[in-house]
Amino acid sequence: MHAMVLKKLRTDLVWSELPDRHPGPGEIRVHVAACGVCRTDLHVVDGELPDPQVPIIPGHEIVGRIDELGPDVTGLTVGERVGIPWLGHTCGVCPYCVRHRENLCDRPLFTGYTRDGGFATAVVADARFAFPLGDKGADVALAPLLCAGLIGWRSLRLAGEGPKLGLFGFGAAAHLITQVAKGQGRSVFAFTRPGDTATQNFARGLGAAWAGDSDTRPPEPLDAVIIFAPVGALVPLALRAVRKGGRVVCAGIHMSDLPGFPYALLWEERQLVSVANLTRQDGLDFLALAPRMGLVAQTTVYPLRQANQALADLRAGRFEGAAVLVP
């Protein structure tokens, strides 16, 4: 197999030939057809997540077909198309796992962070965390659903049901969640880096009711805001944008430090929460909903060998929507 391997933190991934791997008990091997590029991959490369492990193969928005089953795998077959998400394994016995909050498991494994991911021609995964994808939809179009879509979906649920939703940071997740929120009859207010009129136009094109700079106020108070950008300085701006009792959801795994801000921004029962990871139920719910809503991922495709270029373009905001690697 071949892979783009992170050998040392804060360096380019290296194209590498590796011995073929075989699935152990309860595992499957998946021949990768497409793997999305997520901001979390940048945090992995940059060493911004706790206890980084190298060498590691990043990538956790994997679409491919099973080409080998390990012992004791039930319910999946060779040739079946599956998606492999960020949540790669949970212990099943910690207080979070047994209370249906496996996203907070005490002993998890995460694809592309603490177990090898999909910037590769093949990946070995825990079969219980693979989502059957069926045969509808293109591999490339499905890949961004597996994190941008899923984490966006969990964030949207945590944001509550208010009709006026703000999104700070309009990348892969926001462009999908705008479509979901519109489908639910909500109005979306999109905040981008100041002056990024291209992305503001992109947001309007997807149906956002309003789009503007992150340092401006929306035309009316919002019920909730989801912050997808990894920028702590956005938190007080988001709190300022929500009404009394409104909620701000921080959707990313990493953020720069939050600045101090007046308590008045939180006062009046505004809430500030974060979203961590996903549960398998989130995945099943969202992947069933996505085709019914006709979600369309806008993708920019890169050959697997150009993963470093894709990461650089993501960092610089050089494309709209999501980047996807194809082996």
User: Footprint of Zn ion on this chain (CB under 5 A)?
Assistant: 38, 40, 90-91, 94, 97, 105, 147
**CB of 157 or CB of 240, closer to Zn ion:** 157
How crowded is the C-beta side of 229, counted as CA atoms within 13 Å? 23
In the complex, minimum distance from the CB of residue 218 to Zn ion, in angstroms, rounded to a whole number: 27
- According to DSSP, the residues that pair with 3 across neighbouring strands are 16, 120
In the complex, minimum distance from the CB of residue 87 to Zn ion, in angstroms, rounded to a whole number: 10
Structure tokens at 14: 């290296």
**CB of 40 or CB of 214, closer to Zn ion:** 40
In the complex, minimum distance from the CB of residue 260 to Zn ion, in angstroms, rounded to a whole number: 29
Residue 73's SS3 state is coil
Cβ-Cβ contacts under 8 Å for 146 (sequence gap 6 or more): 36, 60, 61, 62, 63, 83, 84, 85, 86, 131, 283
**CB of 99 or CB of 136, closer to Zn ion:** 99
**CB of 169 or CB of 246, closer to Zn ion:** 169
Asked if 133 and 81 count as a contact pair (C-beta separation under 8 A), the reply is: yes
In the complex, minimum distance from the CB of residue 97 to Zn ion, in angstroms, rounded to a whole number: 3
In the complex, minimum distance from the CB of residue 201 to Zn ion, in angstroms, rounded to a whole number: 25
**CB of 38 or CB of 82, closer to Zn ion:** 38
Please state the φ and ψ torsions of residue 102, each to the nearest 5 degrees: -65, -15
User: What whole-number distance in Å separates Cα of residue 189 and Cα of residue 167?
Assistant: 6
State the pairing for strand pair 210-213/242-250.
unpaired
